[in-house]
Structure 1
């Protein structure tokens, strides 16, 4: 998040062109091999293209191969299920656990990419049977992840003859299908491709237009499976097949377009990419990735959410029919889907830990501890010595921080209130992020207001903070009673006389008008029970309850037997139901007096008091 905040985006102009060729009616698309920083440079280039000759400078064809990805580890399964299906890491592990318990797949917590010899033999037979012998290429993979234990083989189906499973829900079927395809593909032949690159020379400039394309000569493993790319990684799209062109051949320019593009900020983590980062840093084990991410979400140190795109103006300069045109368009950017964002409390806790426990928070610390634990597991180190070497200095550090560090609330001065001249602060309070008007040290008590969920301590402006102090809002009167909108511990509500009504999430409490408030008040569910039947000179009533009609008498409730029609119930029927109702058992509470404790003799020697740090 700090890298994203510090990132400064710069813009350049990317130039593309369409050319007319003799062998096809479809235009040939190409990109200039240079990007321009300034608009003036673009216009100068496009002017030079007017009347220029465009010649095929070179046509290069070269073979290429694409190899399959190794079978799944816990980490790669979580990443691929997130990319292909949008599963959270906890959902992936839950579904994988169900498949494992049902006997469909091998153990799903593993960092190994190896398959057993039996599995390779079964895969070979299945590939020959389903696709033919030329598709077989048995491989043995080696793990590249830091500190991998490889205690289990890779995640694979227990029976590769089962292409699908018939039992289980849709999630289980999809995940099994993914695991089967990845396992089979890992033992299949490489895909053979032919990549073509065409360079187009411009008679009036030294730059070249370049176009690339590729065709699949032999599909190999691609017949079964292809790995998904991360959504934040830009991939240059290649034309599937380029027209047959020869060196020295001329092509005609149809149009050329320069569009302003911006450098992208570092992508935020989603759950899958965070798992990959943890694995790369050697932090955690296959069994701890999902619980770690779930824990920091439950503690509200981070939130997973979507955020709407922002908008920016983009310049486009085009050359068409020897005429240069300029225009601007609005472009959406920075949309976030299922991304992880640090909360204010998460940021403050993190800053506190980094400041006071830098050695513990260091990435290498966790990786080094994992290595030591491995040595303990292998019998090469004594666990008491390992824990002792860590705990003694750590305990001393904790006590020192507890006694000497200052309490932190992440307080930030936003500005000065124009009405009172008092300072306004943003900070963490007892019930979450809030703003404070005035000083706690002054005789006059400061005012407090809760921040909205979409506001952050380090980003909220003075104008936004002032709006928060508008609560409670008097929006008008209804039947001569004031209608007040306010924020409570459980969310925004309307106060109408002695009645409080919650405001729906679809309404903004800072903008809601009187008419909408009246509608909410009118539609408030009544707490009064609906009376279905009464009897003269009797307190017995038949009422409509949450779970159906019932009889009420002397403050007690009685269930009406099934099959009895309410309209047919008489006073005698109700009396009989009350008399025949099972009596409630009452248990008498007995208390025993505890024997008085013996008082210990007072020690005459002075006792030393020590300050104990709270856990």
Structure 2
């Protein structure tokens, strides 16, 4: 007979924990939050200290009845929701509903769902942390006030269905600002001179550095011509050789934002997908005879702290697998406690480093395996010795013009044996070896190439770049990044084009109005300061009502002005030259979450829509008559097909190229790989690199 009831959020978590606790415990799931503010009204009494009016979430009646009935049959109720503000609030709402004293030791938290961690947590239950609850309430009420006060204004003045939000509005503004930077960008000309040199039968490249020992810019062709003339018949002589050893340290273990960024770079995951798959790994996976096991620690964290027990296990594993020289002299500490870091948690790491990814691959889905492998490798690398690189910098003189060649090779791989962090442009580091060179040695010049370049505008935000920017600026917290990115797309404020965010006309308009009437909400500093204040509420050093009151005093005045002065705006659709084949009306351009599409101007009488056909300049390889066009699947994934569809059914996920394979005359396609884009044959093993686009110098 069970004498305790344990309530968690999800059935998967309930299943895992139930196996660990045994028959004395009933484990049930609340299916997330059970109470929230009503959707139909603001639900906050501003005059009575911002008193929230919570109601039971629709559809939760049967779950609550089941929990209530179960609680009457046991002596003790434990609330084991996730270990963060949201989890604490869920526990607090459950305690109220089930009439559990929130000062009683009813709250159980664990950072990882393993047998030991769960059993240890039940030895030390604690009361509900009301400071954590207040921090969650304050955020919820703050977001409700902003959303429910500004949104009706936007509906009235601009368009039905619009919304504003604290964090989402700042995210849209960042995307808008970047787009304006790109539009205003004026390219500047610059040149480079690269020479191919030879020493002892080995060829290597050296780049122009400067004149007479001074670093020199090459702004135009005239200066380049002068330099080329100067060195026309001059011998190339090694002037100086510098060799030194350089240490390269591993990246810290993952926090929420870095996990989302790296999963985007290396696995092509959207932020929401990363969090969904991470949740599955955290809550538990059935591993055959081993049973259900939580494979990673809690994934909503901004702390890089690692428990001494996990560090010790990692050191033992690394020494056994790679040798003691791969273990650093003392355990690595990545903790630079930044303001607001939620240090109750550890970093995201495997619950046991001994559970190698390949050993459990058969039990995981493809996505689960790839994300687990990423977390496992990043953690193991973070606990390993630094890599040692031998670097060589060689200055080569022709007359008084200096060229520089830089080479490096890995002397000791250290952590690089396991994992190297990705970067946003998708390039990877490789050894660049130079031949042995001595000062005074004469070199043969094989060729010289002057090249004109133009500086490039700053890149648009990818999901990874935007998450990193929000985190660096202190906007939002680990739990908010993924939902924020989803919301701004659903509202039609931004679209994803080639995996980069582009603001829509609607997004630009809403931000323009917000900047005029609610500048604080778009102010990055102000939003970051609000996050700090919420953290202080969590720490018990700030009163949540006071935080809301100081915000609302200014906000209320802004609302009054906006109500009076905001002008009504009608958004005119851009008319295309395409005629609707169903009703004969002109079609107009609309913006969806995956970019522009065509819709009939006769809406709602005619609901015809069609994609904008984008030709890629390649004749259909199947029918030889149509053109290959870029299309989108219902989920927004780009694919390529013949514009004569349905007469011709040619389709390809990879972008076809406008020539045939030189080996077998089959179709060539461009594929994206870890090392950048490549052109390869669909039939044989022919492969070649895609020429790089010009980039601005660092």
Q: TM-score range by the shorter chain?
A: 0.5 to 0.7
Q: Distance in 2 between matches of 1:507 and 1:50?
A: 52
Q: Distance in 2 between matches of 1:2 and 1:225?
A: 37
Choose which of 387, 407, 427 in structure 2 pairs with 1:213: 407
CA 108–259 in structure 1, closer or farther in 2 if over 3 Å, else same = same
Where do 1:32-47 residues align within 5 Å?
32-33=208-209, 34-47=216-229
CA 27–144 in structure 1, closer or farther in 2 if over 3 Å, else same = farther
Choose which of 128, 135, 142 in structure 1 pairs with 2:326: 135
SS at match of 2:376: helix
> Is 1:253 the equivalent of 2:445?
yes
Task: Measure how far apart 1:485 and its partner are.
Answer: 6.8
CA 358–494 in structure 1, closer or farther in 2 if over 3 Å, else same = closer
> Is 1:155 the equivalent of 2:331?
no
Task: Measure how far apart 1:18 and its partner are.
Answer: 0.7
Which segment drifts farther, 351-360 or 69-78? 351-360
SS at match of 1:201: strand
Tell me the alpha carbon deviations over residues 462-513 of structure 1, each in whole angstroms, 9 at most, x when there is no partner.
xxxxxx3x56599xxxxxxx99574279956799xxx9996864769xxxxx
Contact 1:61 1:195 in 2 (8 A): yes
Where do 1:127-526 residues align within 5 Å?
127-137=318-328, 138-143=331-336, 145-164=338-357, 165-166=360-361, 167-203=363-399, 206-231=400-425, 240-306=432-498, 338-409=499-570, 428-429=571-572, 433-434=573-574, 449=575, 468=576, 472=579, 484=584, 486-487=586-587, 491=598, 505=611
The normalised TM-score by structure 1 is 0.63
Choose which of 44, 61, 71 in structure 1 pairs with 2:253: 71
Q: Distance in 1 between matches of 2:551 and 2:645?
A: 61
Q: Distance in 1 between matches of 2:578 and 2:390?
A: 67
CA 38–70 in structure 1, closer or farther in 2 if over 3 Å, else same = same
Contact 1:62 1:195 in 2 (8 A): yes
Contact 1:356 1:401 in 2 (8 A): yes
Q: Distance in 2 between matches of 1:183 and 1:504?
A: 46
Instruction: Specify the alignment match of 2:25 in structure 1.
Output: none
CA 503–92 in structure 1, closer or farther in 2 if over 3 Å, else same = closer
Tell me the alpha carbon deviations over residues 382-413 of structure 1, each in whole angstroms, 9 at most, x when there is no partner.
2222212222331222122112222235xxxx
Where do 1:514-593 residues align within 5 Å?
none
Task: Measure how far apart 1:194 and its partner are.
Answer: 0.6
Q: Distance in 2 between matches of 1:212 and 1:133?
A: 32
Say which structure is richer in helix. 2
Tell me the alpha carbon deviations over residues 369-393 of structure 1, each in whole angstroms, 9 at most, x when there is no partner.
1121222222222222221222233
Q: Distance in 2 between matches of 1:113 and 1:35?
A: 41
C-alpha RMSD of matched pairs (Å): 3.1
CA 139–284 in structure 1, closer or farther in 2 if over 3 Å, else same = same
Q: Distance in 2 between matches of 1:112 and 1:405?
A: 43
Structure 2 runs not aligned, ≥5 long: 1-178, 210-215, 285-293, 591-596, 615-625, 627-642, 648-698
Instruction: Specify the alignment match of 2:204 in structure 1.
Output: 28
Q: Distance in 2 between matches of 1:149 and 1:243?
A: 50
SS at match of 1:27: strand
Task: Measure how far apart 1:49 and its partner are.
Answer: 2.1
**Whose relative contact order is higher, 1 or 2, with alpha carbons under 8 Å and at least 6 apart?**
2
Choose which of 185, 193, 210 in structure 2 pairs with 1:7: 185
Instruction: Specify the alignment match of 1:581 in structure 2.
Output: none
SS at match of 2:202: coil
The normalised TM-score by structure 2 is 0.56
Contact 2:295 2:352 in 1 (8 A): yes
Q: Distance in 2 between matches of 1:403 and 1:6?
A: 33
Q: Distance in 1 between matches of 2:405 and 2:613?
A: 52
Instruction: Specify the alignment match of 1:437 in structure 2.
Output: none
Contact 1:17 1:255 in 2 (8 A): yes
Task: Measure how far apart 1:169 and its partner are.
Answer: 1.1
